[in-house]
Structure 1
Amino acid sequence: MSTAAEDPVETAVDRALKPMRDDAVRDVEAILDAALIVAEKSTPAAPRVADIVAEAGTSNQAFYRYFTGKDDLMQAVMARGLRRVRAYLEYRMSKVAEPEAQIELWIRGLLTQATNQTAARQGAAVSEILAGSHRRPDTRTAEATNALWDLLLEPLSALGSEHAEFDAQVIHEATMGTMTRHLHAQTAPSTDECDHLVAFCLHGLNLAD
């Protein structure tokens, strides 16, 4: 089967812009990484742009090229974190075939975000700063959050759930609520607590032994 030839104009433009795009990606990643570090130090106060720029080794001009301000930046930090967690959960779930095991791995995998001390401190700081801004999650954060529980839809449907979306949201809220409580308390869920949450969710689906 033949394929359409590439547009030579688009190909040339893409080739010319690729180095600039790569530089922009590096700049943005550096700013997001710096925001996490500075947020951990400044919480509950919002981090200062000057401190973030200094930590990232960039400039105010570069910062405002990519972000409209601190709130925009912190929303981006949160959305990136959620996407990374989703990729981690998706990878773990892909290693098992049984739907029940996939759901259990999803729950336990999300809870581990509270056991990594650095990630837990930074996650708690970002959450507290965003809560203090009294702004609703923007589209990026909302979509990244939905993408987390979206991973549960397939295994739930495979188990015969007639309300997979509702079930996924309940499991997500129970697990995220537990994780968030530990993040803000700077504690980690015990093995017993993790086991209980898994059993509770599976019982709700009539799947626990």
Structure 2
Amino acid sequence: MSDVTSRIAQRALAKRGASYASEVRRLLDAALELMRQRGTNSAPRVADIVAGAGLSNEAFYRHFPSKDALVAAILEDGTERLCSYVAHQMTKVDTADGKVRRWVEGVLSQAAEDIAATTRAVLWNAVGLRNSGDSAPLAPSGRLAVLLHGPFADLGSGDPAFDASLAAHATFGTLADYVWQRAEPSKADIDRITAFCLRTVGPA
């Protein structure tokens, strides 16, 4: 293939890639908005989602084999956003224990009333997703646990990955309780959860 034909083909592929990325973003945003509106009362259908995105069924199935796959993508997208937010909050302090507290605060910020309603709706739509053949089991706690590896190592952990995993599972379990109970953690709650996370640090 000549340089000219290669460049033309690459430009065409780049345009198609940008167009497809835009379609995926519109589908994710439309589905999330519908879930937010309906809460735990009813699940949006594929037809509702493509209508909200202003796209076609063909566009939907070009990117997602099923609605479960779309819900899995929404959870993954939310996890990436939360990771970015928590990581940024952790950069604002210098001490290892301070970073752990910022991590706890960042994770539990998802229990705030305005955010929790959306989280609750997405989790409700995701019921049974772990048994779906379209996607692997989801573990947002594992993604967030990675952010604790550095602070835990600085605190003397003999196995930062293991200790961080324990802390993350416990914190996300507590977050789920707050979300479903429609409650927000107090400062005292955050103090106690932070202290618990720090106690999971095992000696070298």
- Provide TM-score, normalisation by structure 1: 0.84
Amino acid at match of 2:21: V
Once the two structures are TM-superposed, the CA of residue 105 in structure 1 deviates from its matched residue by 0.7
> Which of 44, 60, 64 is equivalent to 1:63?
60
- What is the aligned length? 199
SS state at 1:141 partner = coil
Query: Which 5+ residue runs of structure 1 have no aligned equivalent?
Result: 1-6
Partner of 2:98: 101
Percent sequence identity over aligned pairs: 35
CA deviation after TM superposition for structure 1 residue 91, in Å: 1.2
**2:89 aligned residue:** 92
Q: 1:163 to 1:172 in 2, by over 3 A?
A: same
Cα distance 1:78–1:85, how it changes in 2: closer, same or farther (>3 A)?
A: same
2:145 corresponding residue in structure 1: 149
Distance in 1, matches of 2:5 and 2:90, equals: 42
Distance 1:14 1:42 in 2: 43
2:17 to 21, 42, 45: 21
Which whole-Å CA distance do the structure 1 matches of 2:62 and 2:105 have between them? 38
- Listed as ranges, the gaps of 5+ residues in structure 2 are none
Would you say 1:72 and 2:40 are equivalent positions? Answer: no
Residues 177-205 of structure 1, C-alpha deviations (whole Å, 9 max, x = no match): 11111111222112221121112222443
Q: Does 1:135 align with 2:131?
A: yes
Distance between the aligned counterparts of 2:92 and 2:81, measured in 1? 17
Structure 1 stretch displaced more, 76-85 or 195-204: 195-204
Give the match's secondary structure for 2:138. helix
Q: Distance in 1 between matches of 2:12 and 2:63?
A: 20
Task: Tell me the equivalent position of 1:175.
Answer: 171
Task: Verify the 8 A CA contact 1:76 1:141 in the aligned structure 2.
Answer: no
Cα drift, residue 85 of structure 1: 0.4
| 1:184 counterpart (180, 187, 190) | 180
RMSD of aligned Cα (Å)? 2.5
Q: Deviations over 1:152-176 (max 9, x none)?
A: 1111112110021221011101211
Q: Answer whether contact 2:141 2:168 (CA < 8 A) is retained.
A: no
Alignment partner, residue 4 of structure 1: none
Looking at structure 1, the residues matched to 48 and 189 of structure 2 have their Cα atoms a distance apart, in angstroms, of 38
CA gap 1:88/1:12 in 2 versus in 1, 3 angstroms = farther
Q: 1:16-67, CA deviations, whole angstroms, 9 ceiling, x for partnerless residues? A: 3222211211111111111112223163543211111111111111111111
Q: Residue by residue, what CA displacement relative to the aligned partner does 1:136-163 show, whole Å, maximum 9, x if unpaired?
A: 6934834x54221111111111211002
Q: Secondary structure at the match of 1:171?
A: helix
Distance 1:140 1:62, change over 3 A: farther
C-alpha contact 2:113 2:182 (8 A) present in aligned 1: no
